[in-house]
Amino acid sequence: MKIYIAKDNETLDQICFKIYGSLKTEIYSEFLRHNETLLNKHTLSGGDEVKCPEIRLKSQLEVKYLWD
């Protein structure tokens, strides 16, 4: 798991989008589960540690072909 060091006034959704490139429900909810201690902050302080877990989507695991 990677640790991201927040900058002043960043938000969790900004960081999630920066790291994963998406705010899809399955990504964002998993990201928030790992950062429960930061949920009470509207904006983060510089130096806050944000956990960035490796998130694998179910759709990434399944291979679909056009002819299926």
Topology given in CATH for the domain delimited by 2-56: Membrane-bound Lytic Murein Transglycosylase D; Chain A (3.10.350)
Euclidean distance between CA atoms 13 and 32, whole angstroms: 9
Euclidean distance between CA atoms 12 and 66, whole angstroms: 37
Neighbours of 11 (CB within 10 A): 14
Q: pLDDT tens for residues 39-50? A: 999 999 999 999
Q: pLDDT tens for residues 1-56? A: 999 999 999 999 999 999 999 999 999 999 999 999 999 999 999 999 999 999 88
Euclidean distance between CA atoms 40 and 55, whole angstroms: 23
H/E stretch holding 33 reads helix 25-33
Listed by start position, the domains of the chain span 2-56
